[in-house]
A and B are shown apart, each in its own frame.
Chain A
């Protein structure tokens, strides 16, 4: 059995998770006016690539894979995203230098971390002013079009990290199992932003509905908002709100799934970016060994309830929000 490899976002101290309306998880920051989503406001996002080769991947190959990953996010319909390669640099992906740098870095201390994204955020406006991504050169990497057995695919991991760079948090649309030696192995996932990567050698280079809904929620234009709808409501247990519940909205007509979380103690949630039409709503606790991958460990996340379906189909209206629902769950 292969190792489970966790992808984590290392964020600045001011970063937290925004409980505003959102398809899955958006990063947010606490301002005097309240929590706001962190996001880029100036485009194109200019990025540098560290001029450092690692076995199997040269710096130009890294740049090309990163460029494809940026292009994948930029190709989402009805969002305003653009990026521009600014050149190679000897600088590593470290914060505070005013440059957005993506590169390999040797981090033997993070023996389960393939890559990470850090931010510098304007604490007045919530604007991301700098972001850096490192890929851990402790692991073997590949840019092969078909993938290389035993090597992590640069483009797949860059796609995930660039999702963070744009202001997205982790998605919980995936199933994992605990490994005997520690860590978790992913069994299946339906979001690039799921925090655990597929087995080395696998390719995972396309966005899923959950990723598209998330990025569209942050950067979508009016056409996106007019074409999609949202679901909002509460998850409760014995009458009290459930914090940290994972909610999945599934459209049987298209097979698309989009997830969200209850991010407040009253159990409220909202999932945006949904296709119009009836949706199935399913609620589950986060994986008990991995809740910290999604939400702050300081939060009192409730893991003690059974997965459950909402007993109504929720018809999502085009350009609006479905009537608020209450999903009642039971203790395990």
Chain B
């Protein structure tokens, strides 16, 4: 008897726990919440802000009889313009809230040099070159809460490869941090979502006429697909 009673009690406990488990899992599946091992693909567009690429005068040595300052033949002021590109990501959830992803980004920004102050009055002008910019990296995302709209923070690092049209490859590294929001567009086992992310990326090198670390801002928007 005692044994039966204990069994019955145990069976009742199992049922209760099982129901509790169902309650915990079913809403997640129904609303497309990630779980450990979920795979997520994402793709979209990314806008990365421009930055000053340096200023430099084209100087000649002045005849000492005319002064000690250089003679400036013309002045250059350069800037890499903001540009829209494409990004693609693939990741796996390490837990319900932690996603690790690899990313690839492709952009074609323009390096523009403004030429002015010509000693012989050449008309001021802009000279451009297009840069093919590639970023290969990895990020760790942490979902701040569950739900249809999931805010997250992110951080990671990458390898940057930039090639001015017709020129040599320039490579560097970057670290990035940011955050954003994923919004579930559909429910089910393979939910679609929209993702918006804002990041700051610090780059060791970039196409510019003065080599220094730079912080670039970027905004990415796209779709996610998880299964």
- State the CA gap A208–B73 with chains docked (Å): 15
Residue pair A252, B209 in contact (C-beta under 8 Å): yes
**Closest B residue by C-beta to A287:** B120
For chain B, which range describes its interface: under 10, 10 to 19, 20 to 34, or 35 or more residues?
A: 35 or more
Decide if B166 touches A317 in the complex (CB within 8 Å): yes
Shortest CB–CB separation between residue A12 and chain B, in angstroms?
31
Residues of chain B with a CB closer than 8 A to A124's CB: none
Interface set, chain B 5-54, CB cutoff 8 A to A: 54
Interface string of B44-86 (1 = CB under 8 A from A): 0000000000101111111111100011011010100000000
Chain B residues lying within 8 Å of A306, measured Cβ to Cβ, are: 122-123
Closest chain A residue to B56 by CB distance?
A252
A315 to B129, CA, bound (A): 8
CB < 8 Å neighbour of A280 from B58, B59, B71, B121:
B58
The answer to whether A311 and B63 have CB atoms under 8 Å apart is: no
- Which stretch, B93-101, B110-118, B139-147, B177-185, touches the partner chain A? B110-118
Cβ contact within 8 Å between B168 and A202? no
Do residues A309 and B115 form an inter-chain contact, with CB atoms below 8 A?
yes
Contact residues in A for B209 (Cβ distance below 8 Å)? 252-253, 278
Q: Which residues of B contact A318 (CB under 8 A)?
A: 168
Contact with B along A180-206 (1 / 0, CB 8 A): 000001111110000000110110100
Chain A: number of interface residues, binned into ranges? 35 or more
Q: Is the CB of B63 within 8 A of A199?
A: yes
CA distance A278 to B61 in the complex (A): 23
CA gap between A250 and B55 in the complex, in Å: 13
Distance in angstroms between the alpha carbons of A231 and B210 in the assembled complex: 22
Instruction: Give the residue among A187, A198, A199, A309 with the most B Cβ atoms within 10 A.
Output: A309
Would you call B127 an interface residue if the criterion is a C-beta within 8 Å of the partner chain's C-beta atoms?
Answer: yes
With contact pairs A187-B63, A280-B115, A311-B127 given, residues A253 and B122 touching in the complex (Cβ less than 8 Å): no
- Chain A nearest CB from B187 CB (Å) reads 50
Would A323 and B61 count as touching, CB distance under 8 A?
no
Closest-by-CB residue of B relative to A307 is B122
Whether B58 lies near A188 (C-beta < 8 A) is: no
> B166-179 CB contact bits vs A (8 Å, 1 = yes)?
11100000000000
Nearest CB of chain B from residue A211's CB, rounded to whole Å: 12
Please give the distance in Å from A34's CB to the nearest CB on chain B.
Answer: 29
How many angstroms between the C-alpha atoms of A202 and B61 in the bound complex? 12
**Contact B60 A173, beta carbon cutoff 8 Å:** yes
With A280-B76, A307-B118, A316-B167 as contacts: A255 and B58 at CB distance below 8 Å: yes
Contacts of B126 in A (CB 8 A): 311
Whether A74 sits at the interface, judged by CB under 8 Å, is no
CB distance from B99 to the nearest CB of A (A): 38
User: Chain A nearest CB: distance from B55 CB in Å?
Assistant: 8
Residues A313 and B164 in contact, CB atoms below 8 Å apart: yes
Chain A nearest Cβ from B208, distance in angstroms = 8
**A residues less than 8 Å from B128 (CB atoms):** 311-313
Q: Using known A-B contacts A252-B76, A252-B113, determine if residue A313 contacts B127 with beta carbons closer than 8 Å.
A: yes
Inter-chain CA distance A250–B76, complex, in Å, is 10
Question: Shortest Cβ distance from B60 into chain A, in angstroms?
Answer: 4
Which of B57, B118, B168, B211 counts the most chain A CB atoms within 10 A?
B168
Chain A residues closer than 8 Å to B167, beta-carbon distance: 276-278, 315-317, 322
Give chain A residues whose Cβ lies under 8 Å from the Cβ of B64: 198-199, 201-202
CA distance A282 to B119 in the complex (A): 12
> A252-B54, A280-B58, A310-B127 in contact; A315/B65 too (CB < 8 A)?
no
Least CB distance from B164 to A in Å reads: 4
* A208 to B120 CA separation, bound complex (whole angstroms): 21
Q: Kindly state whether residue B2 has any CB partner on chain A within 8 Å.
A: no
Residue A248, interface by CB 8 Å: yes
Please give, as numbers and ranges, the residues of chain B lying within 8 Å of A280 by CB-CB distance. Answer: 58, 74, 76, 113, 115, 127
Decide: A313 and B60 in contact? CB cutoff 8 A.
Answer: no
Closest B residue to A329 using CB positions: B122
Say yes or no: is A11 at the interface (Cβ < 8 Å to chain B).
Answer: no
**What chain A residues lie within 8 Å of B123 (beta carbons)?**
306, 308-309
Complex Cα–Cα for A243 and B165 (A): 29
Residues of chain B lying within 8 A (CB to CB) of residue A284: 120, 122
The answer for the CA separation of A29 and B140 in the assembled complex, in Å, is 67
The verdict on B1 contacting chain A, using a C-beta distance below 8 Å, is: no
In the complex, what distance in Å separates the CA atom of A317 from the CA atom of B166? 7
A265 at the interface (CB under 8 A from B): no
Q: Which of B62, B73, B76, B126 has the most CB of A within 10 A?
A: B73
> Cα distance A173–B60 when bound, in Å?
8
B4 within 8 A of A: no
Given A190-B60, A311-B126, 10 more pairs with CB closer than 8 A: A2-B65, A188-B61, A188-B63, A248-B73, A278-B167, A280-B76, A308-B123, A310-B127, A313-B111, A315-B166
What are 19 residue pairs bridging A and B, where the CB atoms are less than 8 Å apart in the complex? A189-B60, A190-B59, A190-B61, A198-B64, A201-B64, A248-B73, A250-B58, A252-B209, A276-B168, A277-B167, A278-B113, A278-B207, A284-B120, A308-B123, A310-B127, A311-B128, A313-B129, A317-B167, A323-B166
Binding site for A on B (CB under 8 A): 54, 56-66, 70-71, 73-74, 76, 78, 111, 113, 115, 118-123, 125-129, 164-168, 207, 209-211
